Amino acid sequence: MTDVNVEQPGGSGSHRAATMPVTERGRRTRAQLVDAARVVFEERGYLDARIGDITARADVAHGTFYTYFDSKQELFREVMSALVVDFRRIAAEVPIRGDRPIDRIERANRGYLRAYGAHARMMGMLENAALLDDEVREVRLEARRHWVGRAEYTFRRWQDDGVIARDIDVHYAANLLGSMVDRFAFVWLVLGEPFDEEESVRSMTRLYGRALGIDGA
């Protein structure tokens, strides 16, 4: 599989090394490039995005790109990392409806779908690039571990509290239910299979809760 890392040189040479800006002007230019990249990647996809597209939109010379980034991949990784951060922000904004476990589940599901929908195009690219670039894969897996880890932690506490059964393997459960939510979001929002948000959240939450044996599901 394509692994762009391979292209990285030895390290004995000079290689110009992209650096972080020191001046205000530099910070501005770099930010322009990142912003432009976000748009261009969305519009054209990773593979079809040209450095020239990005610099043109950022309104800087072609060469300026290389003042801040060594390659398209590097910039892409940065955009992806930022995406993951923003994803969490959006998900966190969804209000919770009650204080029962099932309410928390619903909120988490809705938050995930909302965030996914807000960045559907980019999430598709993230899934994709995770298979092409090892560093992006790490970003993707890290994001997954974040969600799965949170769920696992919660499940464990619920188990301690008697909310869910003892015989459930919380590690597998978190991974499996996380997969359900994540993949459903992808199929719906990236692949475009037609679903309805309300019904999605309702069914998803109900199955999720029942699978864990939670009351009210």
Partner DNA sequence: GATGAATGAGGCTTCATTCAT
Partner DNA sequence: TATGAATGAAGCCTCATTCAT
CB neighbourhood size of 125 (10 A) = 23
CB of 89 to a copy of itself, least distance (A): 24
Handedness of CA 119, 125, 127, 133 (dihedral sign): negative
27, 28, 44, 97: residue in contact with a copy of itself (rule CB under 8 A): 44
User: With left for phi above 0 and alpha for psi between -120 and 50, is residue 216 left, alpha or beta?
Assistant: left
| Position among 71, 81, 128, 175 found at the interface with DNA (CB under 7 A) | 71
Among the candidate windows 31-39, 72-80, 88-96, 191-199, which touches a copy of itself by CB under 8 A?
A: 191-199
Q: How far apart are CA 182 and CA 107, in angstroms?
A: 15
Q: Which stretch binds DNA (CB under 7 A): 69-77, 125-133, 145-153, 206-214?
A: 69-77
Q: Is residue 128 a contact residue for DNA (CB under 7 A)?
A: no
Q: In the stretch 16-45, what mask flags binding to DNA with x, by CB under 7 A?
A: x--x-xxx-xx-xx----------------
The residue with tokens 């980034």 is: 69
Backbone angles phi, psi at 69, to 5 degrees: -140, 145
**Smallest gap from residue 86 Cβ to a copy of itself (A):** 20
DSSP at 172: H
Residue from the set 82, 85, 92, 176 that interacts with a copy of itself by CB under 8 A: 176
Q: Which long-range contacts (CB under 8 A, 24 or more apart) does 67-70 make?
A: 67/18, 67/19, 67/29, 68/18, 68/19, 68/20, 68/21, 68/29, 68/30, 68/33, 69/18, 69/33, 70/15, 70/16, 70/17, 70/18
Kindly list the residues in this chain that would bind DNA in the complex (CB under 7 A). Answer: 7-10, 14-16, 19, 21-23, 25-26, 28-29, 48-52, 60-68, 70-72
Kindly list the residues in this chain that would bind a copy of itself in the complex (CB under 8 A). Answer: 1-2, 6, 14, 16, 44-48, 50, 52-53, 56, 121, 124-125, 127-128, 130-132, 137, 140-141, 144, 168-169, 172-173, 175-177, 179-184, 186-187, 190-191, 193, 195, 199-200, 202-204, 206-208, 210-213
